[in-house]
Amino acid sequence: MTRIVLFFHGIALGVAGIVAISITGWSIVPIILLVSGTILFALSLWLGRGKQIWQQPSTKQGVNAVVTTIMVLLVVGLINWLGIRYDRRWDLTENQLYTLSAQSQILVAELEQPLEVLVFDRQIDSELENLLENYRRYSQQFQFRLINPEQEIGLAQQYGIQSLGEIYIQYGDRQQKLDSGNATETQLTNAIEKIKRDRPTNIYFLQGHGEASLEFVEGGLAQMVSNLKDRGHTVRELNLAHSGNIPDDADLIIIAGATRKLLAAEVSTLQQYLTTGGNLLLLLSPNTDLGITPLLQNWGIELDNRLIVDGSGAGEIMGFGPAVAIVNDYGEHPITASFRNGIALFPESRPLKISEQAGIESTPLIISNRQTWAESDLSNEEITFDATKDLSGPLNMAIASVREQPDPSRLVVFGSSTFATNGWFEQQLNGDILLNSISWLLRENRDALTLRPQEPANRRLNLGFMQATIISWLALRIMPLIALIAGAWLWWRRR
């Protein structure tokens, strides 16, 4: 009996030592376990009759079982050691929900000083903790901490904590509160981008010419404005007819969906603004004359009043009409560098042309496919291509231009304004194109021009009363009845 106890205790201690060494390395405790196990194993063999023991079937079976156990433990230990040494993760979800977007990764990797996320709560939510751990993987400058405001009262008073679940970001001597305790990657990334910005950026939307509303109404720009504010930009309205000039703090002027001509003085003011280093974003609609042709001619951009239609039939399959161009071809530019073959939807767009202009460098951003054309006659019910009147694709739908002299200035022109409105903004890459264009116009970090964080896809099924009733009958009555009948029939056959 003593021999058997020594034998198996020796094996157990030896295996424990080997596993400990594979995980933590050579240290005093694993070495003691391994040496003790070896001594006990050798002692058990010395006390017994070696040949008789090894010849017994029970011993052989026991040894085989022990060897198998050792091999399994070694493999498990090796897998754990590799997992600790080489941190690799695979995200198989549809929208890569557990992988930070390229924008978030770059933003965190470029932190110049420590950034700390303070979670004021009794315990941290597991999803939030996983999200924060995800950020920390990309930079040692990113840290997070759970603070119980009921225990650390002084710190809670310092941050003005009113309720459990509040989250603050501390970056240098700046601090910022997250709008929601249920933080998502989008909210956290926008907050980090906002707190990193050295100074506020002022974006002015021109008004007074039938431009799209900034409110959450049909055809409005509320979703676009909300994203800009979340990123730390200041958004204001500008009526040149009232003010007479562009504010000195204007970093960007946006004209979105205007339907009436600008006054000659307004066009002249915009031209002077660009000459002195200003930046301008134009979201134009087909069949509109805003009186800005002289301004665009100075930049080598020509407008075409025809409407781009998509003859490929892809739009009809997706539930859109021919006036919605489905785009997956982009120009070589920092704004679109990360898009690859992603899809964007451009409804009601006009084609743009580039003509060479001294000192101006222009690049197409959005390019329609070969099965599109610019339609000149929309009065017919059946729209067909007419080579004598229509312009065949591919066609430029957006252009980015830059001028370095006399002062660096940038201009982006889109042949559509509808793609940026509420509802369309969140479609595919539409919002990314627009926000990247604004970031480029504001001369933000080129590496930050990437895709925004993805939100979970909504897979909820909304069943009607009849559908729910049918499913209930199938699951609770019909299928069990079929199983009962089949079982009874099999019993009868085997009697």
pLDDT for 342:
87
Dist. CA 306–CA 376, nearest whole Å: 5
pLDDT for 320:
83
* Order of strands, sheet of 142-147, starting from the edge strand that comes earlier in the sequence: 142-147, 115-120, 166-171, 174-177
Quick one: tokens of 321? 């009409």
CA nearest 212: which of 259, 246, 253?
A: 259
Phi, psi of 466 (to 5 degrees): -65, -40
Q: Is 139 exposed, middle or buried (0-12, 13-18, 19+ CB in 10 A)?
A: middle
pLDDT for 221:
95
CB atoms within 10 A of CB 17: 20
Cα end-to-end distance, the chain, whole Å? 54
CB 250 within 8 A of CB 200: no
**What pLDDT, in 10s, does the model give residues 105-129?**
888 888 888 999 999 998 888 888 8
Q: Is 476 exposed, middle or buried (0-12, 13-18, 19+ CB in 10 A)?
A: exposed
pTM of the model: 0.68
Phi, psi of 183 (to 5 degrees): -70, 135
Dist. CA 197–CA 414, nearest whole Å: 27
Cβ partners under 8 Å of residue 375, min gap 6: 306, 307, 308, 309, 383, 385, 390
Can you list the residues of the chain whose pLDDT is less than 50?
Answer: 51
pLDDT for 76:
73
Cβ partners under 8 Å of residue 334, min gap 6: 436, 440, 446, 449
pLDDT for 474:
78
Alpha carbon of 116 to those of 179, 184, 449, 480: distances in Å?
16, 16, 24, 56
